[in-house]
Structure 1
Amino acid sequence: MNKFWTIVGHTYFSRVKAKSFIITTAITLAIIIGLANLPSILEMFSSDDESEHVLVMDESEIYSSYLQEDEISGGAGITFENFEGTEESAKQEVIDEKYDGLLIITTDENNLPEGSYYANRISEMGEQVEIEQVLQQLKTVVGTQETGIDQETLATIYAPVTLDTEQLDDSARTAEEMNQSRGLVYVMLFVLYMTVLVYGQMIATDVATEKSSRVMELLISSAPPITHMFAKIIGIAFLGLTQVIILLGGGYFAIQANQDTMAGEFFEVMGLTNNDPVIYIYAVVFFLLGYFLYATLAAMLGSLVSRIEDVNQLIMPMVMLIVIAFILAATGLSVPESTMITVTSYIPFFAPMIMFLRIGMLNIPIWEIALSISILVLTIAAFAALAARVYKGGVLMYGKSGSLKDLKRAINLSKKE
């Protein structure tokens, strides 16, 4: 057992002290803090006067007065100013950037307002969108007055219809409950996806690096290969835990520092405020099971290669499995009750993501969860037994490799030990 923890400590501290780990963690943390402070950063670079100033030329001289009313232009964030000069001089004012735009209002054949807007730069998300909404509101007001419909009647007509809903299936989750869980489910899916990609490759690369430097021959002479493999997995797990704590802790405190601007809204939107505590337990359980499943597979594949250059090629099937699982889970966020999601939640390579998705989005029987966890545990045990034999023979294999056919060769070598 002492040898096991010695290898765990060596794996952890050699990685946590590496410049690549420190730089990557620092850059990622800086990005997270920057995103958490994005509203404050944007406010620093924004102008104190955010209102757009637009000149108005009204040929009929009856519409411009409406634009001064708050019910029409109050929410647009645009200040309209009447212009008495010529159209050319008004355009020149805009060209000289004294004003943001020029709106010329005319009357169509139905005696309703229409307009032409001029600005130095026209973009799809510019102030012309607000201008169009203002003109639409103006057209509605003028049109109702022409037809004799008062504003109160019009507001009543356009008021949202009342629809009372009642869910008959007691086992189904409400839309509110699903929205509360959706953020947490997505966070867990993304974290597991990135963990497997980053740390799974790290495990395989670490094993290949030790083999290429012949350090492996010394390690297996002092500790059994099975001890070395699981110590490597646990050591990288502690490394990942350290990085996740740093990043999540930094992100949490950065968001809390912006309590007035985004903290409450962020946690509410992400569904991290009113969830059942049990779902967090399931998140930890399925995250650990998913990590150990893919980490064991990564260590087994890493033991088959002697050169670091061959690692990416050999772990590609594992990467494809986690990518497929993530795509299925992302699809299942909108249709968690589909047959495809139900079936794949029992397939070991997909279960950590898919079954947790179903737990978060649906009310499913406890026996289905227990069955999925049992299949996962048995699969991890079977893979651990297979990986131990492959690892035992694989660490002694040198020369060019990169094919899954080397599994049989590694197993045969392990029998000779």
Structure 2
Amino acid sequence: MRKLWLIASMVFRKNIRSFSWWSLVLTPLLAVGAIGVIQWYVSHTHEPARVVVVAPRAVASAFKASADGDITYTVAATKTAGQRQLRHEDADALLVVPRTLDHAAHLYSRDNGQSVDAATVRRALSGLKTMDTAQQLGLSAAQLAQLNAPAQLRTQSVSFKARKMVVARSKTDWLKVILSLAVGALMYVFLLSYGTIVAQEIATEKGSRIEESILTAIKASTQFYGKLLGVTVLLLVQIGAYAGVAAIAWLLRDRFAVVRQFLATIDWSGIGWPFVLVMVAFFVIGIISYTVLAALCGSLVSNQEQAGMALQPVLYLGVIGYMAALNVSSGSGPILRTMSYIPFLSPMVAPARFGVGQMGLGMVTLSLIISVVFLVAFTWFSARAYRDNVLVYSDSGLFKALKKSWTLSRSSR
């Protein structure tokens, strides 16, 4: 056990001091920070469009009171005065409203001015016309509110089981789809980075021919598990750092308008803790599974220059899983349903299908159990294969090297 922790601590200390690991940790944080700065700059430098209104007093006052962050309204006494402001670039558009709202109003926009949303102006005019018509008909404010009340429509997604219609979860939960795809993209970056770390660790030792000396003091399986443990601790440290930053942002959300506005756009009640826990569990298991695969493939190459070749199976599986997750929102076919239970693919596909309601909690739990059992068995198999591969030097490719290692393993038993 002491040797195991010694190997793990060496891998951990080596990588936590490296520039590549810190760039992996800081790049997502810097990207989020850059997006926040851009949004803050845009929100603080954006000027609302200026519209000068020529209309009856009541209508002009109503427009002036309806100003918001996108459009502001000023009042001009005559059309000539409004055109003067437009010519001197004191306004971006001129709105001329006739005395009776039954006639068409005119909106004149300056070519070199800010764009004015005609739909917003039209909605305001429609509201004023409705109020004017209600007054002419003698309707009260309560009657007008009842007249403008929208019709209620409740929507539900359904599926059919044994020819019986049952209510299903919504398949249009865009927030969960976006979160699933974002976590899948982050998983791909992580598996590429941590797969590279462990593959280069093993390939460098094999290329320098120091494995023979190391294995005289430490068992191959101890060395294998030690490297995986060190990389796993690095992964947990990175996830913990992100969780800490997220907690700080949540505590300080009221002090930063950008953070407050972003959080206000998210319906957190629609996400739920089961979805969050499923994503985190599959994320960790997926990264560790791909890291074990990278370690196995890394033991098949002969030197550090071939470490990129060792990552090819990792990258191929990652791309297949992510592309499958991208198609989850389009429907659930037999291929996607099968991928939800296949290790290496399920960490990306299952959370996405769970988020859009194509998998229930029991089904996604089964997929998670399959991934955990496979990870344990695959790690044991990879440790045995590492023991046989670590002293095998071959330039004939991964599959031929694995075949040669398998032959040597069988002959040594």
| TM superposition shift of 1:183 | 6.8
Structure 1 equivalent of residue 62 of structure 2: 69
In 1, distance between residues paired with 2:246 and 2:365? Answer: 33
* Pairs within 5 Å for 1:22-33: 22-33=22-33
Structure 2 equivalent of residue 54 of structure 1: 51
In 2, distance between residues paired with 1:359 and 1:85? Answer: 62
* Pairs within 5 Å for 1:196-211: 196-211=191-206
| TM superposition shift of 1:134 | 0.9
Structure 2 equivalent of residue 391 of structure 1: 386
Q: Quote the RMSD (CA, aligned, Å).
A: 4.2
| TM superposition shift of 1:313 | 3.5
Residue type matched to 1:53 in 2? R
Structure 1 equivalent of residue 325 of structure 2: 329
Structure 1 equivalent of residue 74 of structure 2: 80
Structure 2 equivalent of residue 235 of structure 1: 230
Q: Residue 267 and residue 200 in structure 1: after superposition, are their counterparts in 2 closer, same or farther (change >3 A)?
A: farther
Q: Residue 207 and residue 270 in structure 1: after superposition, are their counterparts in 2 closer, same or farther (change >3 A)?
A: farther
| TM superposition shift of 1:328 | 2.1
| TM superposition shift of 1:105 | 4.2
Range 394-403 or range 318-327, more displaced: 394-403
Structure 2 equivalent of residue 128 of structure 1: 116
Q: Residue 361 and residue 207 in structure 1: after superposition, are their counterparts in 2 closer, same or farther (change >3 A)?
A: same
2:292 corresponds, among 296, 304, 308, to 296
Q: Aligned with 1:128: secondary structure?
A: coil
| TM superposition shift of 1:299 | 0.6
Q: Structure 2: any 5+ residue segments left out of the alignment?
A: 160-164
Q: Structure 1: any 5+ residue segments left out of the alignment?
A: none
Range 13-22 or range 165-174, more displaced: 165-174
Structure 2 equivalent of residue 15 of structure 1: 15
In 2, distance between residues paired with 1:178 and 1:112? Answer: 41
Native 8 Å contact 1:392 1:414 kept in 2: no
1:128-184 C-alpha deviation (Å, 9 max, x unpaired): 22x452145436755996997789788756542112467888985654996786676
Residue type matched to 1:77 in 2? I
| TM superposition shift of 1:196 | 1.8
What is the TM-score with the length of structure 1 in the denominator? Answer: 0.75
Native 8 Å contact 2:95 2:105 kept in 1: no
Residue type matched to 1:5 in 2? W
Native 8 Å contact 1:112 1:139 kept in 2: no
| TM superposition shift of 1:201 | 2.4
| TM superposition shift of 1:106 | 8.5
Q: Residue 374 and residue 225 in structure 1: after superposition, are their counterparts in 2 closer, same or farther (change >3 A)?
A: same
Range 199-208 or range 66-75, more displaced: 66-75
Native 8 Å contact 2:195 2:294 kept in 1: yes
Q: Residue 173 and residue 297 in structure 1: after superposition, are their counterparts in 2 closer, same or farther (change >3 A)?
A: same
Structure 1 equivalent of residue 162 of structure 2: none
Native 8 Å contact 1:345 1:351 kept in 2: yes
Structure 1 equivalent of residue 306 of structure 2: 310
In 2, distance between residues paired with 1:210 and 1:272? Answer: 48
Q: Aligned with 1:289: secondary structure?
A: helix
1:161 aligns with 2:151: yes
* Pairs within 5 Å for 1:132-147: 132-135=119-122, 137-138=124-125, 141=128
1:117 aligns with 2:109: yes
Native 8 Å contact 1:33 1:251 kept in 2: no
1:364 aligns with 2:363: no
Range 236-245 or range 212-221, more displaced: 212-221
| TM superposition shift of 1:334 | 6.1
What is the TM-score with the length of structure 2 in the denominator? Answer: 0.76
Q: Residue 232 and residue 416 in structure 1: after superposition, are their counterparts in 2 closer, same or farther (change >3 A)?
A: farther
| TM superposition shift of 1:101 | 1.4
Q: Residue 275 and residue 173 in structure 1: after superposition, are their counterparts in 2 closer, same or farther (change >3 A)?
A: farther
Native 8 Å contact 2:354 2:361 kept in 1: no
Native 8 Å contact 2:388 2:408 kept in 1: yes
Identity of aligned residues (%): 23
In 2, distance between residues paired with 1:278 and 1:90? Answer: 58
Q: Aligned with 2:108: secondary structure?
A: strand
In 2, distance between residues paired with 1:103 and 1:211? Answer: 76
Native 8 Å contact 1:393 1:414 kept in 2: yes
1:9-34 C-alpha deviation (Å, 9 max, x unpaired): 11111101113323443454344455
